[in-house]
Amino acid sequence: MKEITLTINDRQVKGKEGDTVLEVCQANGVDLPTLCHLEGLSDVGACRMCVVEIERERRPVPACTYPARDGLVVKTHTEQLEKYRRLVLELIFTERNHFCMFCGQSGDCELQELAYRYQMDNVRYSYAFPSLPVDSLGDYLVVDHNRCILCGRCVRACSEVVGIHAIDFGKRGWRTVISADLEQPLGESSCVSCGACVQACPTGAILSKLSLYKGKTSECQQVTTVCPLCGVGCELKVLVKDNNLVRIESPGLKGPRAALCKEGRFGLLYDQRPRVTSPLIRDRQGKLEECTIDEAIETAADKLRELKDGFAGIISSRYPKETLSLFNRFMRHVMGSDWIDTLDGRNYRLIAKGISQFNDKGRGLDVECSIEEILEADCILVAGADVLKTHPVLGYLIRQAISQRRAKVVVIDSVRDVLPLWSDLWLKPKAGSEGVLFNGLAKILIDKGLVERQKAPAELLQSPSGYEADEVSRATGIHIGDLELAASMYGEAEHGVVIYGEGLLERNDPSLVTCLLSLADLKQHRSGDHLRVISLKPHANSHGAWELGLAAEDIPQDKLKGLYLFLADEQEDEGLWNWLKGIDFLMVQASYHSAITSLADVVLPSPIWAEREEGTYASMDGRVSESRRVLQPKDGLLQDREMLIELSKKLGRELVPS
Amino acid sequence: MAKVKVATAWLDCCSGCHMSFLDIDEAIIELAKQVEFTRSPITDIKEFTPVDVGIVEGAVSTTSDEEVLRKLRDNCKILMAWGDCACFGGICAMRNLFTKEDVLRRYYIETESTREGRIPSSEDIPSLFEQVRPLNQVVKVDCYVPGCPPDSKAIQYALSELLQGRIPVLPSEMMRFD
């Protein structure tokens, strides 16, 4: 980028071509006040706080939208400009309700801060006192239009950072308000409650119910960690006061991973499930009774000594790599068992088998691409992947690709259109006919000349009968026109991305994975070494756990006598409960009571995500992040690592963390 | 040296600013050596006599508020506003989001504990204005100490500036609206 030189307040400063005057000021330590500007969002010049005087401009201009040029002569703090700024503040204060003593954001408000800075101890104009509604019916968000200054930061965060664009300006002029859809209450609109708007709001107009009055930013410690929920691996900035969670934010609104989902931002703050605070053992009457850690470990060790074989370990991939690998060593070296699995191990075995059938060069999960590829996509196939439910942030990326790249979205799902507002086409194959569908799409690509014929797999060319369009249409129940439309959307795309997930994997057929990889390979939808295919990995560290080899084989359920289940703060799962209920000896390490802990013979308490010691996570596309401890664990609560070491000691073996 | 004469008044308010003033603690002894309080809720003197400094807490909400404010203005050289209600309308101005009738009905008739309530009306009772106003929309105000209530340090700062012959403007770090 070309360097340019400007004169700001009689000082020669450097900037880059393409910068705004505000950016040059900020890079050179000129402290310009701003309100509607926020790093990561586009600039609109709405508030006029950053007005500057530029030589040969007839009137002051907002620095945030004025392009910096070589030779510009800028004045930022003349007496006149400072007067204007104070005047702007006074006008903003008179427009609506900006009385701080009954506002939840007082002390955390940019408008208030600026009024202090400009020593605004009175207002020369009369106040408008419009009586505007307050929308507080949503799960987590309160919108108080009376506190809104119409800076539009929430609107831009919603459309630019998240991509959802559920809110925008409604009405006109004096009556303008932030409006969700066509003036729906936020909770009933297309809003996804991701809370980017709360983070963007400079005043108390958009508030989070869970964080209100819990602590001001200045009173909080800030810890950056990785989200413990799905495999996207978002970075979280957690604010803590007196060992209580106050709020969760995205560390910045800039970049492709800046959005958080509802669960990550709000759900983590408030878990109503009862905590496992003490170890429990089943007494002679078969009742679970509280006991000391020593008693629990003693009981567990006695039982484990009895179990010579048939003992397995299952761990949630919510744990960091360090815990996963210690658990692995505990099972192999202390218990002498090779039966180790993760809660999502079945997914891995299907995906891994599918990849190995596609390509025998020993490629693993790294054959897939990074999730940023979604942002570049002009066509996205979403196959059996309820992204908005399981990996909402991926859903937002899809939405951004739609609005910024005009990406076409084809949903392949035998139950419902998982993206009903966004999809261009929904293919509804009969359950189990997905494989035929994928091959059929490949055949159309070849027949239409949308791919190079020599790249096509031999079986498609030699036995065309099974995959002729009418045959495929009959087998899948999808109209031929839709098949052709889907094929041409994906085939004519330059940057096609395939996302698949649970809906496909539940067919228990690794060749479906192979088909999708082949389809991407056929059309050469690849970035370097990586095919533009993304499998949804359910947990924060699924990728890490799978790479450690924890989910290599199915545990033979019929030979299973005892099980050590590392559940962490995992949600309840009926399938798992059914699977566990016949086991003779079940030991569960969990943070919360659930139907599963009530099946157990021994329950050991486990820290929740925020109390867990630091560790390493690999996101679904293999990006490595460090998690940090956010809260001090409750009194006497052992870390999972300590629990494993104690248990090993009791069993007469030493377990050393690597 | 003759003592500086100060009168104070509270209008539509919670008296928190006067309480905060009393929070200057032992500094009040030094202050009393330099200042004589005439009319004030603290001295309980009701008559207005000419003073150097008039101090007002609260917003202008009733006919009585306006009368007191105007009398004080007429009798003082410098008028200082204490607190967010006096400076901006503050919490008193919350009622501006409703009509006067709604406010009176809610208060005298619809409150949950009220049975057969009625809105009092008598010439002896000051009547509410349609809108609550900060002081500067009624009379000329010379200086302001915002805050809800202002910190006693801010009040002390403003008074000491006045005693040294300067019109106080609170520095940014002393500014508070809550």
What confidence tier does A468 reach under pLDDT thresholds 50, 70, 90? confident
| Alpha carbon A152 to chain centroid, angstroms | 24
d(CA A324, CA A548): 8
Residue pair A105/A204 in contact (Cβ under 8 Å)? The answer is yes
By Cβ distance, the residue of A112, A122, A126 closest to B87 is: A122
Model confidence over A293-316: pLDDT tens digits? 999 999 999 999 888 788 999 999
Model confidence over A237-270: pLDDT tens digits? 999 999 999 999 999 999 888 999 999 999 999 9
Interface contact B175-A124, CB threshold 8 A: no
d(CA A102, CA A98): 9
Tokens 């204005």, located at residue: B129
CA distances in angstroms from A312 to A76, A137, A565, listed in the order given: 69, 47, 9
Helix, strand, coil abundance in chain A, percent, nearest 5: 35, 20, 45
Highest mean pLDDT among A307-316, A445-454, A459-468: A307-316
d(CA A551, CA A539): 13
Number of A–B residue contacts, CB under 8 Å: 73
Residue pair A237/A251 in contact (Cβ under 8 Å)? The answer is yes
Q: Which residues of A touch B158 (CB under 8 A)?
A: none
Give me the average pLDDT of each 10-residue run along chain B (178 residues): 93 97 94 95 95 98 97 98 97 94 95 94 93 97 97 96 96 96
B12 to chain A nearest CA, in Å?
Answer: 16
pLDDT of A465 reads 61
B146 to chain A nearest CA, in Å?
Answer: 6
Nearest CA to B5 out of B63, B58, B41, B48 is that of B48
Interface contact A127-B96, CB threshold 8 A: yes
CA distances in angstroms from B159 to A48, A221, B7, B150, listed in the order given: 35, 37, 13, 13
Interface contact B148-A117, CB threshold 8 A: no
* Planar angle of CA A250, A255, A256, nearest 5 degrees: 90
* Cis before A607 (ω within 30): no
What confidence tier does A364 reach under pLDDT thresholds 50, 70, 90? confident
Whether pLDDT at A419 is above 70: yes
Q: Which residues of A touch B98 (CB under 8 A)?
A: 131
A269 to chain B nearest CA, in Å?
Answer: 27
pTM confidence score: 0.93
| Alpha carbon B152 to chain centroid, angstroms | 15
A249 forms beta bridges with: A237
Lowest-pLDDT range of A77-86, A123-132, A462-471: A462-471
* Planar angle of CA B14, B15, B18, nearest 5 degrees: 155
For an interface test with A, the pick among B100, B131, B175 (most A C-beta atoms closer than 10 Å) comes out as B175
pLDDT of A464 reads 53
Whether pLDDT at A455 is above 90: no
Model confidence over B112-153: pLDDT tens digits? 999 999 999 899 999 999 999 999 999 999 999 999 999 999
Lowest-pLDDT range of A139-143, A346-350, A444-448: A444-448
By Cβ distance, the residue of B96, B137, B170 closest to A121 is: B170
What confidence tier does A463 reach under pLDDT thresholds 50, 70, 90? low
pLDDT of A571 reads 85
pLDDT of A462 reads 54
What confidence tier does A570 reach under pLDDT thresholds 50, 70, 90? confident
Q: Which residues of B touch A115 (CB under 8 A)?
A: 175, 177
By Cβ distance, the residue of A102, A117, A122 closest to B141 is: A122
Interface contact B90-A101, CB threshold 8 A: yes
d(CA B8, CA A452): 91
The complex's ipTM works out to 0.96
